[in-house]
Amino acid sequence: MERERKKYLELSLCCVAAAMTVQGCGASSDSQKIEIEIVQYKPEAANYFKVVEEEFNATHDDIHLTISSPNDAMTILKTRFIREDYPDIIGIGGDINYSYFVDAQILTDVSDYEGIKDINQGYLDIAESLELVPVDGTYILPYVANAAGILYNRDMFAEHGWQIPETWDELMALCEEIQAEGILPFYFGFKDTWTCLAPWNAMAVALAPADTAKQVNKGQTTFTDEYRELSEKYLALLPYGPDDPFAYSYNDACTAFARGEAAMYAIGSYATPQILSVNPDLNIDSFVMPASNDKESRTLNSGIDLGFCVMDGCENKEAAYEVLDFLYADENIQKYIDAQNAVPCKTGDFQLSSMLDGMLSFIEAGNMTDYQDHYYPSEMAVDAQLQTFLLEQNVDAFLSKFDTDWQRYNRDIIRMVKAYEENNTEAENYEK
């Protein structure tokens, strides 16, 4: 009996021992250096960050930088947060997750960072307005932005002599013209629900107030009031797309556009690498979605694609800033925007991709407005609701569901906003 039990124990010990030997190959790091770890959420930029990491480490003796670009970074970050294993810096987008992180008070104020003065104020304002309730300080340093509108096949446009539309009526007329020539004006890949948001966001910047969501949270308006024109115009685009846009995925749409099956594709600048992988010779340009008939009201739909936040647990803020200085060096930003067709958030003389030619004047003038969906909670699945709407084409049903669902999914936020408003008016009254 004794002996057998020993055997059992030995067997399990063997297993553990075998396990340990394999684990022994982990890298050991130099304990003298300050460790800075960045987790950034854009896996498509992994190569760029690998180079940055190597260059930084080669030129800095006192700091050791690690950058990881995992897939599904949000899941990874959330699981790391729950076990209180915080990286020093996180690279995330300016969307509702950022709003939640600010609210959860896990980010640190970076308004004392020197480089902040070189960042385009437009993007700092966008970041500011993402806070659920106004908070003192700055919590994200915008790095690069993306822009959404309409991508078009430049050669095809030149060949037929089509003009870039600047108003909604011009766009409709152009679609008619293209269709008359037997060419498909737009390609849509609505099978992937998130792509339904691209034209929606691009039109919303001209047709609804930028802070619609916030106004609704304060009880000042409803989506039914603000989104009606937007919804109706979205439906008007459908006849100019493929017969059954819900059959095609984002990937199908990119392939079709790359193969010249459509003249235009209402999507963001982020789609160009995928399109070019299929057809590297395609000559793509872009223009701002002309959703309104008022030329002057046009504004570029652009948001923070990647920004850096320093975590509250970061022990060495100076070292973190040194890393950020390196990331914000002009030549590094230039390398990033070359690789990703991105828009820099830093002011300065950067060479932008030719695919952004049509949007350049807006970028230079700082005339941009954030994506509406950066305010939508992801669990409300506005993308799926939009897909339903485009299928059923019932504006009233869509808008009223939007409003009721909004109240339901945001009630904790709405309560917080109301409490904040009450406190502030009280404070104001008190001061008076």
Partner 1 sequence: MKNENDRKRTFILITIPILALFICFNTIPLIRGVIYSFTNFKGFGKYDWVGFRNYVDLFSDGRVGKSYLFTIKLAVVTTIVVNVLSLILALGLNSKIRAKGFFRGAYFLPNILGSLVVGYIFNYFFTYILPALADMAGIDSLKGSILSNPNRAWIGIMIVCAWQAIAMNTIIYISGLQTVPEDVYEAGGLDGATGWKQFKYLTFPLIIPFFSINMVLCVKNFLMVFDQIMALTKGGPAQSTESISYLIYNNGMSGGQFGFQSANAVVFFIVIVAISVAQMKFSGSKEEQL
Partner 2 sequence: MKNTTTAVKPNKTAMVLLILGLSTIIFPLYMTIVIAFKQPSEMTNSISGILSLPKAWSLNNFREAMEVTDFWNSLRNSMVISVLTVVLSIILHSLMGYTLGRNKKSKVYNFIYLFIVSGMFVPFAILMMPLAKQTAELGLANWFGVILLYVVFYMPMNVMLYSGYLTNIPLALEEAARVDGASTWRTYWKIIFPIMKPMHATVAVITALAVWNDVMTPLVIMAGSSQNTLPLAQLNFQSQFGTNYNLAFASYLLSLIPILIFYLVCQKQILNGVVNGAVK
| Binding footprint of partner 2 on the chain (CB under 8 A) | 1, 4-5, 7-8, 11, 15, 18-19, 22-23, 39, 42-44, 46, 68, 70-72, 75-76, 78-80, 82-85, 87, 194, 251-252, 255-256, 259, 261, 270-271, 273-274, 277-280
Smallest gap from Cβ 175 to partner 1, in A, equals 22
Smallest gap from Cβ 259 to partner 2, in A, equals 6
Q: Which residues bind partner 1 (CB under 8 A)?
A: 1, 74-75, 78, 81-82, 96, 100-101, 103-106, 190-193, 244, 246-249, 252, 377-379, 381, 384-385, 387-388, 391-392, 408-409, 412
The one-letter code for the residue type at 367 is: N
**Beta carbons of 88 and 320 less than 8 angstroms apart:** yes
Instruction: Using the structure block, give the residue that is written with the tokens 């990874």.
Output: 76
412 binds, among partner 1, partner 2, none (CB under 5 to 8 A by kind): partner 1
Q: Looking at beta carbons only, is 172 or 235 nearer to partner 1?
A: 235
Q: Which residues contact 56 (CB under 8 A, 6 or more apart)?
A: 63, 65, 323, 326
**Beta carbons of 266 and 233 less than 8 angstroms apart:** no
Of 246, 247, 271, which is closest to residue 257 (Cα–Cα)?
271
Smallest gap from Cβ 78 to partner 1, in A, equals 5
Q: Looking at beta carbons only, is 341 or 372 nearer to partner 2?
A: 341
Is residue 70 exposed (0-12), middle (13-18) or buried (19+ Cβ within 10 Å)?
A: middle
381 binds, among partner 1, partner 2, none (CB under 5 to 8 A by kind): partner 1
**Beta carbons of 393 and 235 less than 8 angstroms apart:** yes
Q: Looking at beta carbons only, is 51 or 74 nearer to partner 1?
A: 74
Residue 299 tokens, joined: 């504004």
246 binds, among partner 1, partner 2, none (CB under 5 to 8 A by kind): partner 1
232 binds, among partner 1, partner 2, none (CB under 5 to 8 A by kind): none
Sheet hosting strand 284-287, strand order edge to edge: 184-186, 262-265, 150-153, 284-287
Smallest gap from Cβ 43 to partner 2, in A, equals 5
Smallest gap from Cβ 247 to partner 1, in A, equals 4
> What is the phi/psi pair of residue 132, to 5°?
-60, -50
Residue 188 tokens, joined: 């849509």
* Alpha carbons 234 and 389: distance in angstroms, whole number: 10
Q: Looking at beta carbons only, is 86 or 420 nearer to partner 2?
A: 86
Q: Which residues contact 414 (CB under 8 A, 6 or more apart)?
A: 217, 219, 407
Q: Looking at beta carbons only, is 3 or 117 nearer to partner 2?
A: 3
How crowded is residue 331: how many other Cβ atoms within 10 Å of its Cβ? Answer: 8
Smallest gap from Cβ 90 to partner 1, in A, equals 12
Q: Looking at beta carbons only, is 93 or 185 nearer to partner 2?
A: 93
CA distances from 287 to 26, 81, 280 (A): 50, 40, 20
22 binds, among partner 1, partner 2, none (CB under 5 to 8 A by kind): partner 2
The one-letter code for the residue type at 168 is: W
Smallest gap from Cβ 385 to partner 1, in A, equals 8
Of 257, 354, 152, 265, which is closest to residue 163 (Cα–Cα)?
152
273 binds, among partner 1, partner 2, none (CB under 5 to 8 A by kind): partner 2
Smallest gap from Cβ 67 to partner 1, in A, equals 22
* Alpha carbons 249 and 191: distance in angstroms, whole number: 5
Calculate ∠ Cα 413-418-422, nearest 5°: 150
Q: Looking at beta carbons only, is 78 or 160 nearer to partner 1?
A: 78
Q: Looking at beta carbons only, is 273 or 348 nearer to partner 2?
A: 273
* Alpha carbons 285 and 140: distance in angstroms, whole number: 30
46 binds, among partner 1, partner 2, none (CB under 5 to 8 A by kind): partner 2
Smallest gap from Cβ 102 to partner 1, in A, equals 10
Q: Looking at beta carbons only, is 97 or 138 nearer to partner 1?
A: 97
